[in-house]
Amino acid sequence: MFQKSLTAVFMLLSFTLAATACSNDNPESQETAEHVPADKKENQQKEAPEDDSIQLPQNELQKTDQGREVTALQEALQKAGYSISTNGTYNDATTWAITDFQLQQESLTATGVYNEATRKALQKILKEGTAVKAGSVLDKPDNSPETIDNPHDILALVNKENRLPSEFVPRNLTVPDVRFPFEEFLPKKQMREVAASALEDMFKAADSAGLELFAQSGYRSFERQDAIFASNVRKNGEEAANKFSARPGESEHQTGLTMDITSPDVDYQLIIEFGQTDEGKWIKKHAAEYGFIIRYPEGKRAITKYQYEPWHLRYVGKKAAAAIMEQGITLEEYLGET
């Protein structure tokens, strides 16, 4: 009896020791949050992933772009207060949201293009949780055929079917530091700052190539274009005038993104022969490097509704300009509006 009791006690002790040994095979698995050493907690915190909710694309994006980065940008804009779809296409609605956001930030230039400066400003807003009043500066696109919804967009399509609002005056108009064939100040010396800076760079490069470019005509108000078109109608008749002169609201000059250029070889005139000068040939080859396109290229009258104008340069940014000039297409074709 006594011997049986001792045997039972011995077996119980052996089972208890075995169970204890098994529970200590992986001591870390038994640690609770309260028992994790302070230095280990710190390392765990450092290894924790960042908040993906405010991750923004690093690359520059603009109208017509597609892909995951555009989706990420659209999601960020939604968090900032913009009611837009996350379809992965940088469309008019996305361009509107970016432009409206840029217009609300004193440090940003309104272009409709998502760039590094815009990324930093948007990231700051999202981290701070600062409210953005979507559409407080720029009305949301309503797809009205009457006028262009977003005239601040550097890819805004201005033509006979897409008119600028009569009251639109570009922000940040300035006189580029380039040559003009006249000395006095006239409003047509002006361009939007983003285009003026690019024009200065282009003229400097042309100077280095031994060429003589002159800027002739930039910004025109709605009222000024009205007077010009009326004068051309009186001289040539409305049908003829409509082939080379824009009606008020239909002129790219009102955007502040256009400059007509010329040279001494054509006596500073704006004529087709400019395209055959050394300056004209250089422009056709190099304008895109500075964000400009020949807006009304040769052989595209059926699309643009205007004759060939080798002197008429439109700023659209380097990315779009490179694609347009390399493919030999128009802005209409690039935007799929033909």
Tens of pLDDT, residues 205-228: 999 999 999 999 999 999 999 999
Q: Measure CA of the first residue to CA of the last residue in the chain; give whole Å.
A: 105
Is-contact 88 66, C-beta < 8 A?
A: yes
Tokens, residue 163: 């008119």
Q: What is the mean pLDDT of residues 46-67?
A: 75
Cα dihedral sign, 99-105-110-113: negative
Q: What is the per-residue pLDDT for 251?
A: 95
Tens of pLDDT along 133-153? 999 999 988 767 678 999 999
Give the up-direction half-sphere exposure of residue 42: CA atoms within 13 A in the CB hemisphere: 3
d(CA 334, CA 323) in angstroms, rounded, equals: 8
Residue 88 neighbours by CB under 8 Å, 6+ apart: 66, 67, 68, 70, 71, 74
Rounded alpha-carbon distances, angstroms, from residue 128 to 72, 118, 180:
19, 15, 47
Q: How far, in Å, CA of 155 to CA of 136, rounded?
A: 22
* Domains in the chain with CATH codes: 57-128 (1.10.101.10), 173-334 (3.30.1380.10)
If one compares 40 and 135, the residue with the highest pLDDT of the two is: 135
Mean pLDDT calculated for residue range 310-326: 97
- In 130-158, which positions are buried (b, 16+ CB within 10 angstroms) versus exposed (e)? eebebeeebebbeeeeeebbbbbbbbbbb
Q: What is the DSSP-derived secondary structure letter of residue 292?
A: E
pLDDT score at 12: 41
Three-class SS state of 195: helix
* Between 107 and 37, residue with greater pLDDT: 107
Q: How confident is the model at residue 54 (pLDDT cuts 50, 70, 90)?
A: low
Tell me what pLDDT residue 28 has: 40
Asked whether the predicted pLDDT for residue 41 surpasses 70, the reply is no
What pTM does this model have?
0.82
Is 216:260 a contact under the CB 8 Å cutoff?
yes
- 12-23 pLDDT, tens per residue? 434 343 444 444
pLDDT, position 36:
43
Average per-residue pLDDT for the chain: 87
